[in-house]
Amino acid sequence: MNARPIIIDTDPGQDDAIAILTALASPELDVLGITCVAGNVPLALTVKNARMLCELAGKPDQPVYVGCSRPMVRTLVTAEHVHGKTGLDGPELPEPTMALADEHAVDFIVDTLRNHPEPVTLCPVGPLTNIAMAIVKDPSIVENIREIVLMGGAWKEGGNITPAAEFNIYVDPHAAHTVFTCGAPIVAHSLDVTHLALMTDEWIESIRALGTAVGVASAEMLAFYERFDEEKYGSNGGPLHDPNVIAYLLEPELYSGKHVAVTIETGSEQTMGQTTVDWWNVTDVEANCLWISGVDADGFYRVLSERLGRYPLT
Ligand code: RIB
Ligand code: CA
């Protein structure tokens, strides 16, 4: 079986962390690179966190790239109130020692899509700045994108950073517009689906009970991370957004959705970053996205448990 080549573009972030750890434990996926973007916390921290996660996974040779430090047009908005000052609050992880790749993340994305022998899947789980800048630098790279499977957006659920917008899209709505209009096949895991699969304390404790460095650190991250959403939504457990992208690649049958036209608001400050979903095709605008709207939540957490349970990797 040939592993599927992917690039994970990320702003770790505890939920990004579980997505990365799940991907690195999955031989079905060939993680060509982890590209970091400013989002949950400033770029210097997302880069540091990505390296700490690769070392936690026992993968100090995993290429990690430094990307864009701010959105294309707007001023950076971060989310320390959710993820903590470090962006990865919860565990005490050692300072990273692995080297960073020399190439800029945008150049790596362009070069990889120009030269990789088969189409590459892009997996953005943060603001879309790096992806959009790569498309602007060389629009022809879209021809070698197999899919863009992203975490972002909200429609039926409403926003989580403003009433209208989900964080990843809100931070860089102009990048989101560039991506959603580039013509590549897009699969969007929005809040509409991530809010259907909430963590439970029992599940987090089952991860801690793995007793491994990855299991314990993951549980410490998630225990910290879920407190915000539990308080916000008054729920027992919070959504675990980003790993849905990786679980979809591993077991797509866990998910269901609909091909729809999605447009990004970039004009009104009140609705900036809103993903407007033409669910009933009332505009006749051509569909540009598979909007995921259903998930087998038990199956999702089964996949995460099974993959996290593979650590330490041999
Ligand atoms: O709105 C949730 C998204 O914003 C997730 O990707 C989370 O990590 C933050 O980046
Ligand atoms: Ca993220």
Q: Could you read off the pLDDT of 78-110 as tens digits, one per residue?
A: 999 888 999 999 999 999 999 999 999 999 999
Q: Which ligand is nearest to the CA of 189?
A: 1
What was the pLDDT predicted at 137?
Answer: 98
What was the pLDDT predicted at 237?
Answer: 82
Check if 242 has its Cβ closer than 6 Å to any atom of ligand 1.
yes
Q: Report, as an integer, the average pLDDT of 276-296.
A: 96
Check if 307 has its Cβ closer than 6 Å to any atom of ligand 1.
no
What was the pLDDT predicted at 266?
Answer: 98
Ligand 1 centroid – CA 284 distance (Å): 30
Check if 125 has its Cβ closer than 6 Å to any atom of ligand 1.
yes
Q: Is the pLDDT of residue 165 over 80?
A: yes
What was the pLDDT predicted at 40?
Answer: 98
Name the nearest CA neighbour of 10 among 227, 247, 245. 245
* Distance separating alpha carbons of residues 77 and 62, to the nearest angstrom: 28
Q: Could you read off the pLDDT of 11-66 as tens digits, one per residue?
A: 999 999 999 999 999 999 999 999 999 999 999 999 999 999 999 999 999 999 99
What is the Cα 137 distance to its own chain's centre? Answer: 22
Which atom of ligand 1 is the closest one to the Cα of 160?
Answer: 1
Which atom of ligand 1 is the closest one to the Cα of 14?
Answer: 8
Q: Which ligand is nearest to the CA of 14?
A: 1
Every domain of the chain and the residues it spans: 4-308
Q: Is the pLDDT of residue 1 over 80?
A: no
* Element at 248 (helix H, strand E): helix 243-250
* Element at 81 (helix H, strand E): helix 80-83
Residue with tokens 């899209």: 169
Q: In this structure, which residues have their CB less than 5 angstroms from ion ligand 2? A: 11, 13, 16, 125-126, 242
- Which band of pLDDT confidence, cut at 50, 70 and 90, is reported for residue 231? confident
Ligand 2 centroid – CA 37 distance (Å): 9
CA angle 200, 203, 208 (to 5 degrees): 130
In the chain, % of residues over pLDDT 70: 100
What burial class does residue 107 get, using C-beta atoms within 10 Å of its C-beta: 0-12 exposed, 13-18 middle, 19+ buried?
middle
Check if 273 has its Cβ closer than 6 Å to any atom of ligand 1.
no
Ligand 2 centroid – CA 283 distance (Å): 31
Q: Token pair of 21, please?
A: 């750890």
Q: Mind telling me the catalytic residues? A: 241
What was the pLDDT predicted at 135?
Answer: 98
Q: Report, as an integer, the average pLDDT of 165-176.
A: 98
Q: Is the pLDDT of residue 259 over 80?
A: yes
Mean pLDDT estimate for the chain: 96
Q: Which ligand is nearest to the CA of 83?
A: 1
Ligand 1 centroid – CA 3 distance (Å): 26
Q: Which ligand is nearest to the CA of 172?
A: 1
What was the pLDDT predicted at 201?
Answer: 93
Ligand 2 centroid – CA 17 distance (Å): 8
Name the nearest CA neighbour of 129 among 94, 104, 112, 146. 104
Check if 167 has its Cβ closer than 6 Å to any atom of ligand 1.
yes
**4-308 carries CATH number 3.90.245.10:** yes
Does the pTM surpass 0.85? The reply is yes
Check if 229 has its Cβ closer than 6 Å to any atom of ligand 1.
no
Ligand 2 centroid – CA 112 distance (Å): 22
Which atom of ligand 1 is the closest one to the Cα of 167?
Answer: 1
